Amino acid sequence: MLSPKPRLLRAHQVPESYRELGILSGYRPPRSSASQCLLSLFGMNNETLNIWTHLVPAGYFLWLLLARLRDFGADAGAGPFLAYLGTCALYPLASGAAHTFGAMGGRGRHRAYCCDYAALSLYSLGSALAYSAYVFPLEWLGSTFHDFYVPMAVFNSVLSTGLSCYSRFLEAERPCLSKASRTLAFVYPYIFDSIPVFYRLSRSRSERSLALHSRHSLCALLTLLSFTSRLPERLAPGCFDLIGHSHQLFHVCGILGTLFQLEAVSMDMEERQGLFPLPSSLETFGSLGMGAASSLAILGICFLSLRSEPLPREKSH
């Protein structure tokens, strides 16, 4: 039976690690039960839109994935696209779950966000698999960079998972370093994955997919700016507690970028059919499996190492 819907708290009533700059109210009680976290999906708090802006797109990407899986046997070159589409569905699903259960105390909160980071790292690997198979500049096919592009992407995804999960250990005592580490963990793989796209954008704008790749790059920049700037809530604390704060904008820009990227990859896959030596299913899903297995190993180490959060300190009056 579900517990009663939890009351909402102000920033001074929750531990410092739960507070967000410029968000003064709308916090769920720390150490909420799983059922209380689920109930919070249907009441307005400062995480509600963070959750739904990823759960709804996750459902859409899952629907696309299931539709494409039905035709998988008829399209031998669709393996990288399916692997990529699977990671598109995975990362917003994991993020929605992390924000849903983020009010659970102790290890549960940290574990939820570590799973979120691992899923986002796998999305970067899925993007690299799709780029290698359909998006690379034609003059780079068979080059040394093309040969090592996917292995490097596997390494980058593992590095991203490790660095982002490690940032959870820094959050309480060194929050600035924690955020910098987490930002680097996701910016670096994006830049590496996008080298083929940046090259194509610098050489030509005549291909139809390049406009979509440009929009994806713009959304990626807006995603970074919204994550690091904490705007608009830092300019008007308390005014964007429930609607319009930077993390919601971060989610929306990220999903819009993925939609543009998905359309661009689909267009390149269709228009460049027959021009690429496509990898086998074993190569594609083997690379994805290596990245996933390594990330799971890192998660296991983190789960064993994470300690419970301290109880909030009482403030003197």
Place 4 in a pLDDT band, splitting at 50, 70 and 90: low
Residue 76: which pLDDT band, with cuts at 50, 70 and 90?
A: low
In a domain, 240, yes or no: yes
The whole-number average pLDDT for the span 250-258 is: 98
Band of pLDDT at residue 72, cut at 50, 70 and 90: low
Q: Is residue 7 part of a domain?
A: no
What backbone phi and psi angles, to 5 degrees, belong to 243? -135, 130
How many C-beta atoms lie closer than 10 Å to residue 112's C-beta? 20
Q: What is the CA radius of gyration of the chain?
A: 20
Domain assignment of residue 215, yes or no: yes
Mean pLDDT of 99-127: 92
In a domain, 317, yes or no: no
Range of the domain at 193: 31-305
Provide the token pair at 236.
């008007």
Q: What is the pLDDT of residue 305?
A: 86
The mean pLDDT of 285-311, rounded to a whole number, is 85
**With bands split at pLDDT 50, 70 and 90, how would you rate the model's confidence at 141?**
very high
Q: Which residues lie across from 9 on neighbouring strands?
A: 27
Contact 6, 31 (CB under 8 A): no
DSSP string across 9-70: B-GGGS-GGG--TT--S-BPPTT--HHHHHHGGGS--TTHHHHHHHHHHHHHHHHHHHHHHT
Q: Tally the domains of the chain.
A: 1
Taking the C-alpha atoms of residue 98 and residue 111, their distance in angstroms, rounded to an integer, is 8
* Measured distance CA(287)–CA(290) in Å, rounded: 5
Q: How confident is the model over 31-44, as pLDDT tens digits?
A: 888 899 999 999 99
Q: Would you say residue 25 lies in a domain? A: no
- pLDDT for residue 311: 42
SS (H, E, C) 249-317: HHHHHHHHHHHHHHHHHHHHHHHCCCCCCCCCHHHHHHHHHHHHHHHHHHHHHHHHHCCCCCCCCCCCC
